Amino acid sequence: MTGFRDAHVLITGAASGIGRLLARGAAARGARVTLLDRDQAGLLAARLELGLAGADAAAFTVDLCDRSAVQATAARVLAARGPVDILINNAGVVTGKPLLECSDAAIERTFQVNTLALFWTVRALLPAMIARGRGHVVTIASAAGLGGTSRLTDYCASKFAAVGFDESLRLELRRLGHPIRTTVVCPWYIDTGMFRGVRTSFPRLLPILQPDYVAGRILGAIQGNRRRLVMPRFVMAVLLVRILPLGLYDAVMRFFGVDRNMDGFSGRLDRMPHGGNDEDGGPERGRGSV
Ligand SMILES: NC(=O)c1ccc[n+]([C@@H]2O[C@H](COP(=O)([O-])OP(=O)(O)OC[C@H]3O[C@@H](n4cnc5c(N)ncnc54)[C@H](OP(=O)(O)O)[C@@H]3O)[C@@H](O)[C@H]2O)c1
């Protein structure tokens, strides 16, 4: 069992959505929490909220697209807060457009945040876990990492990569004899705003998930050392359907409306830089601890 009491938990993308709820839940379970995000104002609000609740919380502003900034921030976290017991790679972005409408910059950013940042944070923080003989690496992937769909070519590809990253890391750690735990999380759509406008064709089997429910399940999975958490359970069916010939597989996916779910997608209208066609990566934000 991975305990939260007095554990040092680092969460990326902790200024909003699931990351913020995970920080709240981990702190409520007695953890010391370190929050990373590019959103300085959101981070400040999250840290203040946790501080008012009596938690030991620190926040660091960093753009996860910037490898050297991630490495420098990880070094600062280790120096200021000590080794990390539970690393939750949660930050993610979505473009939500047909392939030919995605800008080059948006595609690159999707892979930088959803995939490459996993490498930079884990490579920076895993050595201290190995040295202490304990630690837990959590990858928030997606159901989109188990099956592809329309308007999500970059997102699905980046989340398939995240699932592959977790699986390879898990096997490698075992092979090398390091007792570090891993958990990969593959949720269906969650009502955080990131996927605003998506529809589900079968709300009973594939409901849009509530953020508090998802965060609670993730914390429970970490505590229970579950290697994989897929929500809702019906999403696991995609793994079974994979044994079918591809024509049949596609027909099953179409039947469940998986190719149409994104038709009404608008995403976070308030945060253009990640979803839009910007070529320059959006406005500059400050870096440092808040
Ligand atoms: N929502 C869903 O339906 C859903 C379903 C399955 C899986 N997931 C996954 O769950 C995770 C959390 O999603 P969520 O719905 O909570 O999203 P969210 O509310 O948009 O939160 C993501 C956080 O990550 C931050 N972030 C994005 N790019 C960053 C960067 N380059 N550097 C640092 N921070 C960055 C965002 O900052 P800004 O606000 O400034 O962009 C935001 O605070 C993601 O990995 C997502 O892919 C979500």
| pLDDT tens digit sequence for 73-96 | 999 999 999 999 999 999 999 999
CA of 34 to the centre of ligand 1 (A): 16
Q: Which two tokens stand for residue 159?
A: 């989340």
Residue 89: per-residue pLDDT: 99
The residue whose CA has the least distance to atom 38 of ligand 1 is: 39
- Residues 135-147, buried b or exposed e (16+ Cβ, 10 A)? bbbbbbbbbbbbb
- Residue length of the chain: 290
Query: For the segment 179-204, what is each residue's pLDDT rounded down to a tens digit?
Result: 999 999 999 999 999 999 999 999 99
Ligand 1 atom 18, closest CA? 17
- Ligand 1 contact, 230 CB (< 6 A): no
Catalytic residues: 155
Q: Is the alpha carbon torsion for 161, 167, 172, 177 positive or negative? A: positive
For ligand 1, say whether the CB of 16 is within 6 Å of any of its atoms.
Answer: yes
Angle at 271 between CA 112 and CA 160, to 5 degrees: 35
Strand ranges across the sheet with 57-61:
228-231, 181-187, 136-140, 86-89, 8-12, 32-37, 57-61, 288-289
Is there an atom of ligand 1 within 6 Å of 70 CB?
no
- Taken in order of first residue, the domains within the chain and their CATH numbers are 8-233+243-276 (3.40.50.720)
pLDDT computed for residue 78 by the predictor: 98
Q: What mean pLDDT is reported for the chain?
A: 93
Cβ(113)–Cβ(92) below 8 Å: yes
Whole-number Å distance, alpha carbon 274 to ligand 1 midpoint, is 10
Point out which residues pair with 32 in neighbouring strands: 8
CA of 57 to the centre of ligand 1 (A): 20
Other CB atoms within a 10 A radius of the CB of residue 108 amount to 15
Q: Give pLDDT, residue 290.
A: 64
* DSSP 3-state percent helix, strand, coil across the chain (nearest 5): 45, 15, 40
Tokens of 20: 């913020």
Residue segments in the chain with a per-residue pLDDT below the cut of 70: 270-290
**Is residue 194 lining ligand 1, measured as CB closer than 6 Å?**
yes
Q: How far is the CA of 195 from the centre of ligand 1 (A)?
A: 10
Ligand 1 mutation target, pool 21, 24, 39, most atoms within 8 A of CB: 39
Give residue 84's pLDDT. 98
